[in-house]
Amino acid sequence: MLPPFENIPFPDSKELPECLGLVFADIPFAPEDRPAPPYCVPFLGGGEDEVRSGVLYGHASEFYLNSYYPVINGEQGDEAETYDPAAPPSDDDCRRRLKEIWGYDDFRGIQLDIIRSILRGNDTLGLMPTGGGKSITFQLPAMMMPGVCLVVTPLISLMVDQVEHLLRRGIRAAAIHSGLSREEILTILENAIFGAYKFLYVSPERLASELFLKKAARIPVSFIAVDEAHCISQWGYDFRPHYLRIAELRKILPCPVLALTATATVEVVDDVMERLAFRSKCVYRMSFARKNLRYVVRRANDKVNELLHILRSVPGSAVVYTRSRKGTRELAAVLNQEGIDAHFYHAGLSPLDKELRQKDWMAGRVRVMVATNAFGMGIDKPDVRLVAHMDLPDSVEAYFQEAGRAGRDGATAYAVLLFNKGDRTKMRRRIPDTFPEKDYVRGVYEKLCCFLQVALGDGRGVTYEFSLSEFCRRFCLFPVPVESALQLLTRAGYINYRDENDETVSRLMFLVTRDALYDLHFLPREEDRALRAVLRLYGGVFAEYVQIEEKRIAMVTGLTGDEVYEALKALTRRRVLHYVPRKRVSRVTFTLRRLEREEISLMPDIYDTRREQYVRRVESILSYAETTGVCRSRLLLDYFSDPSAADCGHCDACVSRRAFDETASAIEPNCSPEALAETYASILADGTPRAVDALPHDGIPSAVHSAAVRLLVADGRATLDPATMTLKGCEA
C-alpha cells in the first residue's frame, strides 16, 4: 500500500538541482522537449536507501511531489506494484480499509460480493438500487489495488463532485470531460501515466478521442468502473452512443471491468455484459423491493390541489418532480404562497444557485424541492418522506429511480404519481417530439447548413457556435422537435450537437510563483481582492488549472460578478494568471462534410428500433399509471424481473383492495338501494373507476344493485361510461 501523500519527503532546495538532473536524465526527454514552466514532469529521485518516482509539479523555484511509487534497485518499482488476483486481500482487510477511509464498520447488501469479485479480477456487473452504496464498490477495491481506477460516468457535475470528495479525503483524483481544453486533458493524462492519481474520471464522449485512447494504453489501470452502465445498451431507456467506445478501451487495457447500474431489465443486463465484452457472466443483484416505500398513483384533475393536500398530510422533506423548467418555478411559487417552503431546481440554473438550493434542502432549511429530472442523481438525503411526480416520467426505469429517492433511512415514505386523463395524450405527443419524421430531420439538417453557411462538401471537422432559439425563430420551428432532430443527426454521425448545458466551467491557473506574488505592488483594489479570494478558496492553482466560480469569489470579496470577471481578465493581461471564463453556448461540429439532403439516412438502429423501444417504454409507464387492482410494487419489480416481487400490502392498490374486501363483507344482504349507494360511493372514493359488475353485489338482488347505481348517477354523484362507474371529481 502506498503511504499517504503527506509523508513524502520533499526534496529541499539544496537537492533540487540534483533531483532535476535526475528528472531529466532518467526520463526520456530530449533537451528541447523539456517542458516550460509550470513543470509537470515525471520525477525520479530520493534518499540513500530508497529511490522514488512520481510526478513533480512546479515552477522555476517551487516544486512539489505529487504522488509516487517506490522504486526498487533503481528500476521503476513494478515488483512493489504487482498484484495477484489469485491472492486478493481478505474480507477483514477490506473492512479495515472501509473503516479507515469512510468510517463505516461493515458493508451493506451486496457491496462486499462485488468488491470480492473485482479484487479477484473478474468482470462484474452490480445491480444496486439508488442509495445502495454504489461508489464504495469501486472506490474501495481501487484503494487496495495498485494503479489507477478509470471511472466512466456520464454526468460532469457528479464527476466533479466525486473528485472533490476524494481530494478532500486526501485521495488523488482527476476528471476528464468536455469542459477542459486539450492542454488540460493532456496534462491530466500525462500525470495519470506517471501514477499521479488513484482515480481518473472520464466522461464517455472523451473516450472517443484519439488522444485519449493513445495515452490510455500507457496508464497503469487497475480496473475500469462503468457507472450508469445501462447507458451502453441500445435496449435501455438511456442509451448513450459514446458508451460503446468502452469496448475499444477494453481492447487496449487488459484489466477487469466493473459495471454498475441502478435500473436494468433482464434484457439490458445481458446486453451490458455482451457490449462490455465480459470474459464470463457475473452479476450481483440486490433486491429492488423497497419495503418502507408506499407507491401510490393518485388520479386527480387538479394536481396542484391534490399535491397541497398530500404535502399537508405527509410531513417531512419532499421532492416534487415536474417536467418543465418553467413548471418548477411556478409550482414552487404556489407552494410558498400556501405556506410550504419550497425551492425550484433545473439544469438551467447557475452552479452556485444549484448548490445553494441543494444545501438548503439537504439541511432541511427548505422542505420541498420542486425540480426537473436534473435533480437527484448523486444526492443522498436519507429522510425524504415524499417523492411526488406531477407528470409521468419517460419510462418505468426513470420513475423507479426518481421515486427511489424517498425513504432511504428505512422509515415509511411515499412515492406518489399524480395522473389524469390528459396525461395519456401528453405522453403520446412525446413520441413525435422525440422522434420527428425522418424527412423533418433531413429538413433540419439542410436548414442548419444554411443557417451556419456551410457550403455543400464543406464543413468537415468545423465547430460552430449555435443558438437553438435563434435557429427556431428564423425558420419558425418548435425547439423540442428541432433539438430531437439534432440529437438524431448526432447519433447518426453527421454532426455533433452539444447543448449549452454541457457548459464548461471557468478555470484559472497562476503563471507566476507564489513568491512572485509578493513583488506585485499597487494592484487595483478589485484585482487585489479577487487575487486574495482565489488564493483563499482554491488549492493547487500554482500547478494546474483549477475550476473556479466567479459568484463564489464575488461573495467573499463583496465585488459583483462583473467586477470579478473584469479583475480576473485584468490579472490575465498582467500575466499573473490565466483565466478561462466559462461559456454557456451550444455548439455544432460537422463530423462529415456537408451532404445533400437525400444523402442523410437514418438507419434502423438510429431511428426505427429506437423509436419502437421508446414507444414501448411510454406504454409501460402509462400502463403502470393506468393499471388498477394490482400491487404497485409488484408491477415495478415484475418489470425488472425481480424474483422477490410480492404484494407490498400498503400501496394504493393493496390498500384499496383491502378496504374493498372489508366493505364488501360488511354489506347486509337485505340492505336498501340507498344504503348500498352509500357503500358504493365510499368504495369509489379512492378515485379508481370500476365496472358496475365489479362493485360488490354477492347475495344482493340485482334490482337493488342496479337501483343503487342509478341513484348515484341520478344524484349527479357519479358518472357511468358505458358500464364503468367513476365518482364525480375523480374522473381521470
**Residue ranges in contact with Zn ion by CB under 5 A:** 631, 633, 648, 651, 654
Please say which residue, 114 or 648, places its beta carbon nearer to Zn ion.
648
**Geometric angle at alpha carbon 183, from 179 and 185, rounded to 5°:** 55
Instruction: Take residue 81 and report the three cell numbers written for it.
Output: 506494484
Are 55 and 187 in contact by the 8 Å Cβ rule? The answer is no
Are 637 and 397 in contact by the 8 Å Cβ rule? The answer is no
368-371/257-261 β-pairing: unpaired
Please say which residue, 203 or 633, places its beta carbon nearer to Zn ion.
633
Please say which residue, 554 or 648, places its beta carbon nearer to Zn ion.
648
Could you tell me if residue 362 is left (phi over 0), alpha (psi between -120 and 50 degrees) or otherwise beta? Answer: alpha
Task: Give the shortest CB-3-to-Zn ion separation in angstroms.
Answer: 53
Please say which residue, 291 or 359, places its beta carbon nearer to Zn ion.
291
Radius of gyration of the chain (CA): 30
Please say which residue, 76 or 633, places its beta carbon nearer to Zn ion.
633
Instruction: Take residue 210 and report the three cell numbers written for it.
Output: 484519439
CB atoms within 10 A of CB 179: 21
Among 150, 118, 123, 125, which residue's Cα sits nearest to residue 279? Answer: 123
Task: Give the shortest CB-414-to-Zn ion separation in angstroms.
Answer: 13
Are 692 and 709 in contact by the 8 Å Cβ rule? The answer is yes
Please say which residue, 638 or 668, places its beta carbon nearer to Zn ion.
638
Please say which residue, 646 or 723, places its beta carbon nearer to Zn ion.
646
Among 150, 158, 134, which residue's Cα sits nearest to residue 199? Answer: 150
Task: Give the shortest CB-639-to-Zn ion separation in angstroms.
Answer: 14
When CB distances to Zn ion are compared, the closest residue is 631
Instruction: Take residue 611 and report the three cell numbers written for it.
Output: 423509436
- DSSP-assigned letters across all residues of 373-429: TTS-TT---TTEEEEEESS--SSHHHHHHHHTTS-TTSS-EEEEEEE-THHHHHHHH
Task: Give the shortest CB-268-to-Zn ion separation in angstroms.
Answer: 25
Among 503, 495, 498, which residue's Cα sits nearest to residue 461? Answer: 495
Task: Give the shortest CB-295-to-Zn ion separation in angstroms.
Answer: 7
Distance CA 234, CA 141 (A): 29
Please say which residue, 633 or 726, places its beta carbon nearer to Zn ion.
633
Task: Give the shortest CB-557-to-Zn ion separation in angstroms.
Answer: 55
Task: Give the shortest CB-587-to-Zn ion separation in angstroms.
Answer: 47
Distance CA 266, CA 638 (A): 11
Instruction: Take residue 295 and report the three cell numbers written for it.
Output: 407507491
CB atoms within 10 A of CB 61: 12
Are 618 and 428 in contact by the 8 Å Cβ rule? The answer is yes
Task: Give the shortest CB-659-to-Zn ion separation in angstroms.
Answer: 13
Residue with cell 523555484: 61
DSSP conformational letter for 33: G
Helix, strand, or coil here: 586? strand
Residue with cell 417523492: 387
Distance CA 304, CA 425 (A): 19
Please say which residue, 229 or 635, places its beta carbon nearer to Zn ion.
635
Distance CA 127, CA 288 (A): 9
Task: Give the shortest CB-558-to-Zn ion separation in angstroms.
Answer: 55
Task: Give the shortest CB-657-to-Zn ion separation in angstroms.
Answer: 9
Please say which residue, 491 or 650, places its beta carbon nearer to Zn ion.
650
Distance CA 425, CA 420 (A): 10
Task: Give the shortest CB-637-to-Zn ion separation in angstroms.
Answer: 10
Q: How far is CA 172 from CA 117, 139, 188, 214, 232, in A?
A: 24, 12, 12, 22, 28
Please say which residue, 135 or 633, places its beta carbon nearer to Zn ion.
633
**Residue partners of 381: CB distance under 8 A and separation at least 6:** 317, 361, 362, 405, 408
Please say which residue, 174 or 403, places its beta carbon nearer to Zn ion.
403
Task: Give the shortest CB-469-to-Zn ion separation in angstroms.
Answer: 45
Task: Give the shortest CB-695-to-Zn ion separation in angstroms.
Answer: 22
Please say which residue, 631 or 727, places its beta carbon nearer to Zn ion.
631
